């Protein structure tokens, strides 16, 4: 589309100044045109005339440049004489000149520190407040459900239970099994040094039941279901489905949040228990292969080393993790704005926030109950 | 007066867009059963038809976003189905598209949206590019303070204008519009029509739009192509098409004449 190269002649006589643009004055040659106009001095105190007889092509970008540069040199646009333009070009010139005339002040983009900090702080406070509002809604919803159990959406609840619990079973089993194997293998190397082979059962069972299985399950669920919750609710927000739910006289908290919250709270301890078992199964296989401890000996030892208290402690942590994940995920889902980028942003922050929350809660548990295990 | 101008444009210039024997099969059904039409330089043409007659699909096929099952689409004389990707992208620089919902990039501001085609297809220095962007935004009738807004902060009419500014960024010769006035109130819709007409006339644009808006048809369009039953059943100036004795066309135009 690049036509003949543009050029510009400027003839100044006593009666006036004649500008003679030549060639293709279009967006492809804009840089050249800018240079041409910049190097031409147009006197602004005499009549200025533009002669288009040798102009081969003109588009709105070209017109814009002529208008802007001539104005910058002080030429009064309305006193300009336009010669030999065809009607389309004249239309175009008048349109562009008129639109650029009404141009407001050039936009300012300066950003200073104080307003930036202020805006950030205000956003933080607003986010905190909305957090509390959301938690308030959840509590309100739970109270309502407790009063009238009929309000719980059973179908949604069971669907979520299947998605969050049953469908996550294979991956949880695989991960905890592998962690059990690796942990037993490394621990086995250490205990063999002391000839304390049988203590592998103590070490693995306590570690898996108390820390590894609950934490690993929570991390998997945060990545798997937490992200899914945010994306689902966020996408529903984008397509105005949440507004539709409210308009039908239903509470979005009842319909969307509570089934997910209850499902994940119930599913997580169950998954954690399966994780406990799989971790120990993995460890027993390694113990047999590496240290020649029979399965019978291994589980007999686990029975005496692992107190019920430890197992219950691990299982009791997981509903708390679950609640934290569900609340963070649902809140982020509702916070999604109506554009495509925001779904991704909030899904990312769900995963990050829920992982941080899980690890923090785990630390609190460890500090609060150091005597267990 | 408008038909005269359209005919004159047809006669003196080769067609910008040519569709020949186009067939489309979608979901086991034939959506288009042999569509032929061509559009000359400088014409503003509307594509009408009931819901589900494949206007949008036809538009997508003209743009090269999807392929017809059979038939040809020639843009600027080149068959777009046979172009290599490089050549297709070159042709793509010569037309602009206004999608129904605007399809503005939601992560970019309005100014960045308009600048996007310029960044990709030209080597303009930043200062010049900003100047061009500001001009396009003004040309589309947006105030300058809209530049730094995100698409989610704009009203429907402003979104369309911003999308138009982006479609015009590369000085296209041909403009495709999918329902340009849908979702706008009648006043904004007429304003938008007027803006389009002025831009088309002064920039020498050729435009093909799918529309449902009868006021657009009567107000600013040179020619109407009616799609019905997978075929073009009428093709001509609005006045002539409205007079035609065809059941669907009569129903279509009378649906509005009552309120006129």
Whether A238 maps to a domain, the answer reads yes
Residues of chain B with pLDDT under 50: 1-12, 258-260
Domain CATH for A15: 3.30.750.24
- Average of per-residue pLDDT across A48-73: 79
Helices H, strands E: what count in chain B?
A: 10, 10
- What is the pLDDT, as a whole number, of residue A109? 62
- What is the pLDDT, as a whole number, of residue B3? 45
Quickly count: other Cβ atoms within 10 Å of residue A198's Cβ: 16
* A170 shares a domain with A262: yes
* A234 shares a domain with A138: no
Whether A59 maps to a domain, the answer reads yes
Is 0.85 exceeded by the ipTM? no
* A328 shares a domain with A190: yes
Number of domains in chain A: 3
- What is the pLDDT, as a whole number, of residue A105? 54
Token output for A62? 């070209």
Distance in angstroms between the alpha carbons of the first and the last residue of chain A: 78
* A252 shares a domain with A129: no
Quickly count: other Cβ atoms within 10 Å of residue B200's Cβ: 18
- What is the pLDDT, as a whole number, of residue B8? 45
Look up the pTM and report it: 0.67
3-state SS, residue B63 = helix
* A237 shares a domain with A326: yes
How close is the nearest chain A Cα to the Cα of B174, in Å?
Answer: 14
Nearest to A91 among B125, B150, B202 (CB): B202
**B76 backbone φψ class: left, alpha, beta (φ>0; ψ -120 to 50):** left
Burial class (CB in 10 A: 0-12, 13-18, 19+), A155: exposed
Residues of B in contact with A31 (CB under 8 A): 123-125, 128
- What is the pLDDT, as a whole number, of residue A176? 95
Place of tokens 């520190």: A113
- Average of per-residue pLDDT across A229-237: 92
pLDDT at residue A288 greater than cutoff 90 = yes
Whether A254 maps to a domain, the answer reads yes
Residue-number span of the structural domain to which A131 is assigned:
115-150
Put simply, whether B12 touches A (Cβ < 8 Å) is no
Whether A110 maps to a domain, the answer reads no
To the nearest whole number, what is the mean pLDDT of chain A? 86
- The chain A residues in contact with chain B (CB within 8 A) are 1, 26-28, 30-31, 34, 59-61, 64-65, 68, 88, 91-92, 94-96, 99-100, 102-107, 109, 337-342
Whether A1 maps to a domain, the answer reads no
* CATH code linked to domain B14-94+207-260: 3.40.50.300
- Average of per-residue pLDDT across A263-288: 95
- What is the pLDDT, as a whole number, of residue B257? 55
Nearest to B135 among A31, A64, A342 (CB): A64
- What is the pLDDT, as a whole number, of residue B1? 38
- What is the pLDDT, as a whole number, of residue A249? 81
Q: Which of B112, B138, B149, B170 to mutate to test the interface with A (most CBs of A within 10 A)?
A: B138
Token output for B249? 């066309």
Listed in sequence order, the residues at least 6 apart from B42 whose beta carbon sits closer than 8 Å to its beta carbon are: B5, B9, B13, B200, B204, B205, B206
Task: Choose among B226, B259, B227, B192: nearest CA to B33.
Answer: B227
Token output for A36? 């041409």
Residues of B in contact with A30 (CB under 8 A): 122, 124, 128, 132
* A286 shares a domain with A244: yes
**Domain assignments of chain B as residue spans, ordered by start:** 14-94+207-260
* A127 shares a domain with A82: no
Whether A2 maps to a domain, the answer reads no
Q: How far apart are alpha carbons B249 and B199 in whole angstroms? A: 29
* A321 shares a domain with A181: yes
* Interval A115-170: pLDDT, tens: 889 989 998 998 889 888 988 989 998 998 899 888 888 888 999 999 999 999 99
């Amino acid at each position: 589309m690049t036509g003949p190269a543009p050029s510009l002649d400027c003839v100044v006589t006593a009666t006036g100044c004649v500008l003679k643009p030549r060639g293709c004055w279009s967006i492809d040659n804009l840089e050249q045109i800018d240079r041409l106009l910049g190097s031409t001095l147009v006197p602004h105190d005499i009549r200025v005339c533009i002669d288009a007889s040798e102009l081969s092509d003109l588009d709105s970008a070209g017109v814009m440049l002529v208008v802007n540069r001539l104005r910058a040199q002080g030429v009064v646009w309305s006193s300009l004489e336009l010669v030999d333009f065809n009607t389309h070009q004249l239309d175009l010139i008048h349109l562009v000149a008129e639109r650029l005339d009404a141009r407001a002040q050039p936009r300012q983009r300066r950003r200073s520190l104080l307003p930036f900090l202020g805006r950030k702080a205000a956003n933080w406070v607003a986010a905190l407040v909305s957090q509390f509002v959301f938690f308030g809604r959840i509590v309100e919803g739970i109270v309502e459900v407790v009063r009238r159990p009929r309000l719980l959406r059973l179908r949604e609840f069971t669907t979520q239970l299947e998605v969050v619990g049953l469908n996550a079973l294979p991956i949880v089993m695989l991960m905890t099994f592998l962690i059990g194997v690796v942990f037993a293998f490394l621990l086995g190397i250490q205990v063999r040094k002391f000839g304390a082979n049988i203590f592998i059962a103590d070490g693995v069972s306590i570690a898996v039941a108390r820390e590894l299985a609950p934490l690993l399950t929570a991390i998997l669920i945060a990545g798997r279901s937490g992200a899914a919750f945010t994306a689902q609710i966020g996408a529903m927000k984008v397509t105005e489905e949440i507004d539709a739910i409210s308009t039908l006289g239903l509470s979005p908290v009842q319909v969307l949040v509570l089934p997910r919250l209850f499902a994940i709270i119930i599913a997580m301890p169950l998954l954690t228990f399966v994780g406990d078992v799989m971790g120990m199964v993995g460890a027993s296989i390694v113990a047999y292969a590496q240290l020649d401890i029979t399965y019978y000996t291994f589980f007999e030892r686990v029975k005496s080393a692992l107190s019920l208290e430890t197992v219950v402690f691990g299982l009791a942590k997981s509903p708390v993790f679950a609640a934290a994940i569900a609340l963070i995920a649902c809140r982020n889902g509702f916070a999604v704005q109506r554009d495509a980028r925001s779904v991704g942003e909030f899904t990312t922050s769900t995963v990050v926030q829920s992982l941080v929350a899980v690890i923090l809660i785990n630390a609190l548990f460890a500090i609060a109950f150091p005597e267990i295990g | 007066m408008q038909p005269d101008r359209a005919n004159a444009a047809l006669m003196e210039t080769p067609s910008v867009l040519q569709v020949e024997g186009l067939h489309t099969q979608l979901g086991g059904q034939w959506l288009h059963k042999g569509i032929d039409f061509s559009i000359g330089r400088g014409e503003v043409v509307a594509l009408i038809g009931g819901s589900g007659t494949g206007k949008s699909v036809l538009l997508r096929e003209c743009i090269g976003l999807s392929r017809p099952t059979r038939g040809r689409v020639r843009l600027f004389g080149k068959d777009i189905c046979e172009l290599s990707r490089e050549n297709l992208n070159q042709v793509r620089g010569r037309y602009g598209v206004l999608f129904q919902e605007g399809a503005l990039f939601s992560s970019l501001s309005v100014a960045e949206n308009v600048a996007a085609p310029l960044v990709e297809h030209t080597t303009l220095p930043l200062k010049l590019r900003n100047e061009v962007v500001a001009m396009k935004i003004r040309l589309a009738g947006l105030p300058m303070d809209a530049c730094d807004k995100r698409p989610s902060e704009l009203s429907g009419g402003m979104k369309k204008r911003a999308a138009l500014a982006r479609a015009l960024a590369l000085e296209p010769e041909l403009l495709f519009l999918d329902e340009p006035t849908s979702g706008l109130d009648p006043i904004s819709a007429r304003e938008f029509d007027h803006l389009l007409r002025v831009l088309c006339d002064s920039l020498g644009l050729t435009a093909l739009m799918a529309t449902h808006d009868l006021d657009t048809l009567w107000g600013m369009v040179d020619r109407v192509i009616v799609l019905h039953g997978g075929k073009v059943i009428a093709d001509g100036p609005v006045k002539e098409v409205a007079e035609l004795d065809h059941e669907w066309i009569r129903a279509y135009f009378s649906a509005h004449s009552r309120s006129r």
